[in-house]
């Protein structure tokens, strides 16, 4: 077998990432050697591979679904937004510059087409199948000329295209028809079918519409995936400021993050408040906490919401100086200072760690120069042009810890107790390490310390395995594909490409 497939979507967040992961897990369980691929990703939620390359976390998750080690080949271009109009461009895992949207789409993007295709071809030469994920919608006609992630690569690699639509949003039939009808005849010839995502109710009520869609477009719907709760899967897109409020919600999306906290092992629950800083990065750092029985997590943006929190986390951000100003403007900086003085737990991760320090010198990220931090940790930070990308391992609280680092800020620690290459002073911890809370033994030890400082009779569950939970979720995705799609038709597409003679749906691209 040697084949591939592009999973496109009618909109952003239609479910491309999870469908791609589900197909990868289904295929690998059939004995197929499979890899994921996304030519260009825009996300603040990234990961560091074993070779020290930065890629989107969604592709790392899909690689886990495929049971292969993630590499830069799987996500050659990563865009990390730094504001409304500019992004850092990461090529093959390394930053190569900062560009405005106009500058990128005006010419730079097209220059990346050849390296993107080279990565795809290398993967196709190594694996039996490559399942590619698109971005946004393939019908973004204003961007088609420079496209390197949707129909641009589908045409170049002759990949069949499966279009996913989120029926929970409504209007999915119009989305499928309109997406197809806005493509050129050449692009339409590769659109081989549709997949309905997040359906609630009786599928028989949907079938007449699917039949009519087939009659209108000449293309079948290959499956209807039911709405599935509790799928904690890493998000593709950079999340903005999530809505505050509601204990038990860590994110408006995602499986672990939407699930209701299980009953505590001890007498008390433990409440975690995450400051929803601007340009928040790697919000998945708190997923492992949300997976713990008796731990409830929410994002907050008001100082009064810290009052009943047992632990406050200041997470990573692509804009440390901007996050500092936001914390001060909203009164959260003063609330954090009061917590530290009272000996109540605070954890800063990456940009959050930098914000908790005494002083920041930033001529790289914000170009703001000298900026005073919150002064809760004896740390001075200088932003370097070279980005630190690493996969550190170490020990803290008597337990082994693994993590990953993605930052320009270089921290000079001037005191406190050592903590994961950062430091601890009283009830305030800070580290550049993302992902440390996924280390089960360390997470339990850390939560015991937090509970003791907070005066809570909380006891961590002795057997929670975040890695095992993630594997269960990926298997559930594979089950959804196996049970609710026409897998024989899907396999024919992957092996043989789009069928010949698919009809043209007018009007086509203008």
As a whole number of angstroms, the distance between CA 464 and CA 427 comes to 25
As a whole number of angstroms, the distance between CA 232 and CA 378 comes to 36
As a whole number of angstroms, the distance between CA 351 and CA 82 comes to 13
* Assigned token pair, 388: 């630190």
* Assigned token pair, 456: 């809570």
Give 475's contacts (C-beta < 8 A, 6+ positions apart).
25
Beta strands in 116-229 (DSSP E): 129-133, 161-166, 191-199, 221-226
Task: Kindly report the backbone phi and psi dihedral angles of residue 460, in degrees, each rounded to the nearest multiple of 5, phi listed first.
Answer: -65, 140
Q: How many other C-beta atoms lie within 10 A of the C-beta of residue 251?
A: 23
**Active site residue: 24, 119, 275, 350, which one?**
350
* Assigned token pair, 90: 């990461």
350 is catalytic: yes
As a whole number of angstroms, the distance between CA 66 and CA 20 comes to 10
Task: Kindly report the backbone phi and psi dihedral angles of residue 44, in degrees, each rounded to the nearest multiple of 5, phi listed first.
Answer: -100, 5
User: Is the Cβ–Cβ distance between 298 and 304 less than 8 Å?
Assistant: no
As a whole number of angstroms, the distance between CA 310 and CA 314 comes to 14
As a whole number of angstroms, the distance between CA 138 and CA 355 comes to 39
Burial of 308 from C-beta contacts in 10 A (0-12 / 13-18 / 19+): exposed
As a whole number of angstroms, the distance between CA 33 and CA 364 comes to 42
- Angle ∠(210,211,217) on CA atoms, nearest 5: 85
User: Is the Cβ–Cβ distance between 401 and 434 less than 8 Å?
Assistant: no
What's 227-241 look like in SS3?
Answer: CCCCCCCCCCCCCCC
434 is catalytic: yes
**Active site residue: 408, 432, 434, 484, which one?**
434
As a whole number of angstroms, the distance between CA 305 and CA 345 comes to 15
Burial of 125 from C-beta contacts in 10 A (0-12 / 13-18 / 19+): exposed
Q: Point out the residues that are catalytic.
A: 350, 434
């Amino acid at each position: 077998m040697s084949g591939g497939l592009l999973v496109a979507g009618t909109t952003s967040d239609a479910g491309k990432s999870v469908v791609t992961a589900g197909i990868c897990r289904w295929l690998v369980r059939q004995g197929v050697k499979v890899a994921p691929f996304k030519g260009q990703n825009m996300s603040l939620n990234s990961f560091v591979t074993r070779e020290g390359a930065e890629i989107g976390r969604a592709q790392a998750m899909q690689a886990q679904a495929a049971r292969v080690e993630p590499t830069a080949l799987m996500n050659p271009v990563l865009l990390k937004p730094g504001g409304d109009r500019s992004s850092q461009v990461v090529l093959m895992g390394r930053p190569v510059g900062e560009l405005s949207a106009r500058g990128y789409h005006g010419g730079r993007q097209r220059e990346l087409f050849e390296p993107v295709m080279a990565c795809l071809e290398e993967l196709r030469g190594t694996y039996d199948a490559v399942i590619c994920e698109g971005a946004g919608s393939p019908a973004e006609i204003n961007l088609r000329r420079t496209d390197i992630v949707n129909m641009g690569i589908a045409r170049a690699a002759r990949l069949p295209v499966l279009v996913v639509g989120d029926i929970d949003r409504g209007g999915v039939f119009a989305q499928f028809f309109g997406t197809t009808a806005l493509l050129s005849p050449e692009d339409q010839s590769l659109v081989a079918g549709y997949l309905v995502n997040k359906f609630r109710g009786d599928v028989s009520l949907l079938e007449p519409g699917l039949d009519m869609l087939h009659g209108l477009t000449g293309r079948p719907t290959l499956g209807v995936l039911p709405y599935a709760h509790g799928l904690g899967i890493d998000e593709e897109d950079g999340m903005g400021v999530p809505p505050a409020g509601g204990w038990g919600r860590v994110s408006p999306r995602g499986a672990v993050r939407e699930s209701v906290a299980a009953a505590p092992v001890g007498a008390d629950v433990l409440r975690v408040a995450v400051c929803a800083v601007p340009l928040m990065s790697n919000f998945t750092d708190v997923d492992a906490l949300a997976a713990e029985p008796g731990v409830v997590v929410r994002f907050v943006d008001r100082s009064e919401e810290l009052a009943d929190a047992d632990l406050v986390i200041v997470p990573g951000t692509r804009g440390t100086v901007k996050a500092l100003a936001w914390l001060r403007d909203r009164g959260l900086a003063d609330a954090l200072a009061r917590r530290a003085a009272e000996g109540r737990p605070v954890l800063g991760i990456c940009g959050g760690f930098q914000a908790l320090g005494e002083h920041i010198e930033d001529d790289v990220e914000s170009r703001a120069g000298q900026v005073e931090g919150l002064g809760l940790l004896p740390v001075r930070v200088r932003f370097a042009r070279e980005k630190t990308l690493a996969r550190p391992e170490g020990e803290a609280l008597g337990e082994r810890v693994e993590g990953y680092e993605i930052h320009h800020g270089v921290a000079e620690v001037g005191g406190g107790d050592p903590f994961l290459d950062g430091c601890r002073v009283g009830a305030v911890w800070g580290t550049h390490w993302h992902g440390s809370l996924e280390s089960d033994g360390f997470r339990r030890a850390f939560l015991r310390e937090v509970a003791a400082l907070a005066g809570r009779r909380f006891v961590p569950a002795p057997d929670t395995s975040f890695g095992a939970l993630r594997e269960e979720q990926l298997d559930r995705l594979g089950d959804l594909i196996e049970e609710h799609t026409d897998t024989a038709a899907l396999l024919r597409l992957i092996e043989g490409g789009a069928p010949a003679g698919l009809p043209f749906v007018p009007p086509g691209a203008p």
